[in-house]
Amino acid sequence: MSSPSPDPTPFHPGELAVQERAGVREQIAPVGAFNIRRFLPDQHRRFFADLDLLFVGAVDPAGQPWATVLAGDPGFIASPTRTSLTVALLPEADDPVLPGLRAGAPLGLLGLMPQNRRRNRANGRIAALDAAGFTLEVTESFGNCPQYIHTRSREPAAVAGRPAAEVADRIGDEARARIAGADTFFIATNAPQGVDVSHRGGRPGFVTVTEDGAVLWPDFSGNNFFNTLGNLAVDPRAGLLFADFESGDLLQLAGTAETIWDGPELAAFRGAERLVRFTPSAVVLRRGVLPVRFAPQEASPVLVATGTWDEAAQTRAALAERDTWRPFTVARVEAESATIRSIYLTPADGGGIAPHRAGQYLPLRLTLPGGDRPLLRTYTLSDAAHPGHLRISVKREAGGAASGFLHDRLAPGDTVEAMAPRGEFVLDPESRRPVVLLSAGVGITPMIAMLNELVRDGLRSRSPREVYFIHGARDGSEQAFADHLRQLALYAPGVNLHIRFSRPRSQDVLGENYASTGRVDLDLLRGLLPFGDYDFYLCGPGGFVADLHAGLRGLNVAAERIHYEFFGPSSLPGEVPALVDAMPAEVTFAESGKTVEWTPAAGSLLDLAEASGVPIDFSCRSGRCGTCAVRVLSGEIGYAQTPEAALSDGYALACQAHPRGAISLSV
């Protein structure tokens, strides 16, 4: 018997609109067409027959969705045909779902096995209904992944009489506490042709009740069908179910919901793609309802990378203090190569870490033994955002006071000061193009962070981007993150790795710890890439970046596809316009009591201050970090190019600025 052919698209306009906004409509179209069926596969039929729990979504006569759960020994559900399910149970008389069970009414079913995290959906209409149960005519059937489900073990339960349902029009203190402690809930929504019920899971604390009584939760990356959010886009009415599997209590809410696509709360919640805000109009607490009970067993491993509302509050507080020096404790130190070591930093004040992106850098303030003033430096973060720590990877520079201190003196338990991460050298969040990460030497630090972010996001979204990671090092002793890169190349989908050594040692083995000999150049790229429409990211010494940038532009790669950062001068050759309007001018350093003449040959105001013995704090010298900002007391300044760092009115970035006539500075 042949299977019914799939529809061209099983998605309604609301689902398609949300898929479009999330940027997944094209990729998910063929997946949905062949995974959402109009019949029950045999494995689903066996699955439903083995269930202890069946979650039900129904719509009451006023059109309001409600969610509930039916529970019993395996066998209370059967599948007599490929398009039908019989359920030998009904909701109890005080269950708000019961009025929605009528012959011909739409019904959404979600089967879930807490013991092994399996779940499948079956939606349709009630074909028959009597005092013993109902029969569902299945019109839609599909499986769901188990990634946010916690395992639970079935426990014996003695169910006695129970009190009447408690009904309210708002969330009280007890309900608030139940919601705040939940790690799982279920949501029923109206679909244009029926009703749907879906599972939501997280760490305890992933749902909160706001001050005005709304329920707020994060929407994590899922199967990208967007059934629930698509339904809400068409009809905002929804029903929530919070089940206490240990006590058997059920908390059921009815109301309306909206999707939140941006804002500070979303940015602060780790792992959230969107937020959903639910405003209740009815709250029902039914105690001791479940005849079977389940004890917590194992949390979903996927949820380690997600947050809670308490953590989000800490993150927002950290963001509010992004320009404040905060103490960080050295948690651990690891050697990455003969010249690079990684330093893991955790907030010493117990607070959170400000949101940041791979590729950004961390301003540090270091107090060296015997030093008369702190050293200010910036170091690129070498890992994707992590909830508990920041990681920088520092190369030992010959004669470098800061890098020497970080390599030789800094140890676990020591404290340094840092501001929030910042910088504009980050992955384009809107692009789905393949990515080419090109680096040399310590330029690997932002690239390894970007690679980790791309792999993490690809696994979470099930839509990995093709990545070419091409790096140049002197030899195997100076190759950082070698084992990590090899593991990603073996197991992470879409990762292509090419390591090139310029001077391999005798113990370096071609084809094992490196792929070719020479420098990373355009000829290598021509041999490795088919040269389609890529996003290029470059980081390394100035000459390395300049040569590759020029070569890519020569191959007609659009300038907006080439992103770069380098160590040394702050621009590519020919990018900085001449100081055509710059004339000799007097510069007064007010606090130092010095007035000196500036000429174009003197360079920046920072160069002039150093030559004049006037101390100005600085770090990157490239206009990125803002450390060298000084207040302009009078006069005007100009820039050869606009600096990246944001500045308050009345301030100048000394490392990039020059005077336009006589000026006075606060230093």
Write down all domains in the chain, each with its CATH number in brackets: 13-305 (2.30.110.10), 322-418 (2.40.30.10), 435-567 (3.40.50.80), 585-665 (3.10.20.30)
Q: For 321-344, how does the pLDDT look when each residue is reduced to its tens digit (9 = 90+)?
A: 888 899 999 999 999 999 999 999
Does position 355 have pLDDT exceeding 80, yes or no?
A: yes
Mean pLDDT (whole number) for 418-438: 90
Report which listed range, 48-62, 370-384, 420-434, is most confident. 48-62
Mean pLDDT (whole number) for 191-199: 92
Query: Which pLDDT band holds residue 641 (cuts at 50, 70, 90)?
Result: low
CA-to-CA distance for 617 and 574, rounded, in angstroms?
28
Mean pLDDT (whole number) for 124-130: 95
Residue closest to 383 by CA, chosen among 361, 406, 358, 362: 358
Query: Which pLDDT band holds residue 27 (cuts at 50, 70, 90)?
Result: confident
Place of tokens 């709360």: 265
Q: Is 585 helix (H, G, I), strand (E, B) or coil?
A: strand
User: For position 570, what pLDDT does the model report?
Assistant: 46
Query: Which pLDDT band holds residue 582 (cuts at 50, 70, 90)?
Result: low
Give the range among 8-22, 124-138, 340-354, 463-477 with minimum mean pLDDT.
8-22
Mean pLDDT (whole number) for 543-560: 91
Does position 580 have pLDDT exceeding 50, yes or no?
A: no
Mean pLDDT (whole number) for 550-564: 91
| pTM for this entry | 0.78
Amino acid sitting at position 185: F
Does position 397 have pLDDT exceeding 50, yes or no?
A: yes
Mean pLDDT (whole number) for 148-165: 84
Residue closest to 95 by CA, chosen among 294, 285, 240: 285
User: For position 10, what pLDDT does the model report?
Assistant: 87
Query: Which pLDDT band holds residue 122 (cuts at 50, 70, 90)?
Result: very high
Does position 364 have pLDDT exceeding 80, yes or no?
A: yes
Does position 577 have pLDDT exceeding 70, yes or no?
A: no
Does position 571 have pLDDT exceeding 70, yes or no?
A: no
Residue closest to 56 by CA, chosen among 121, 130, 119: 121
The residue count of the chain comes to: 667
Q: Is 306 helix (H, G, I), strand (E, B) or coil?
A: coil
CA-to-CA distance for 634 and 621, rounded, in angstroms?
23
Does position 120 have pLDDT exceeding 70, yes or no?
A: yes
Residue 620: partners with Cβ closer than 8 Å, 6 or more residues away: 361, 378, 627, 655
Query: Which pLDDT band holds residue 463 (cuts at 50, 70, 90)?
Result: confident
Amino acid sitting at position 247: S
Give the range among 155-169, 273-287, 390-404, 435-449 with minimum mean pLDDT.
155-169
Terminal CA-to-CA distance of the chain, rounded, Å? 85
Mean pLDDT (whole number) for 260-286: 94
Task: Return the sign of the alpha-carbon dihedral for residues 126, 128, 134, 135.
Answer: negative
User: For position 640, what pLDDT does the model report?
Assistant: 67
User: For position 579, what pLDDT does the model report?
Assistant: 47
User: For position 6, what pLDDT does the model report?
Assistant: 46
User: For position 567, what pLDDT does the model report?
Assistant: 66
Does position 196 have pLDDT exceeding 90, yes or no?
A: yes
Q: Which residue has the higher pLDDT, 76 or 532?
A: 76
pLDDT above 90 as % of the chain: 63
Average per-residue pLDDT for the chain: 89
Report which listed range, 59-73, 142-156, 302-316, 417-431, is most confident. 59-73
Does position 57 have pLDDT exceeding 80, yes or no?
A: yes
DSSP bridge partners of 639: 657
User: For position 622, what pLDDT does the model report?
Assistant: 72
Does position 574 have pLDDT exceeding 70, yes or no?
A: no
Does position 581 have pLDDT exceeding 60, yes or no?
A: no
Q: Are 332 and 181 in contact (CB under 8 A)?
A: no
Q: Is 634 helix (H, G, I), strand (E, B) or coil?
A: strand
Query: Which pLDDT band holds residue 433 (cuts at 50, 70, 90)?
Result: very high
Q: For 472-530, how does the pLDDT look when each residue is reduced to its tens digit (9 = 90+)?
A: 999 999 999 999 999 999 999 999 999 999 999 999 999 999 999 999 999 999 999 98
User: For position 575, what pLDDT does the model report?
Assistant: 46
* Runs of H (alpha helix) within 72-113: none
Q: For 226-272, how does the pLDDT look when each residue is reduced to its tens digit (9 = 90+)?
A: 999 999 999 999 999 999 999 999 999 999 999 999 998 998 998 89
Q: Where are the beta strands (DSSP E) in 224-381?
A: 237-243, 250-260, 274-286, 293-298, 326-335, 340-347, 361-366, 375-380
Q: For 613-639, how does the pLDDT look when each residue is reduced to its tens digit (9 = 90+)?
A: 888 887 777 777 777 889 999 988 888
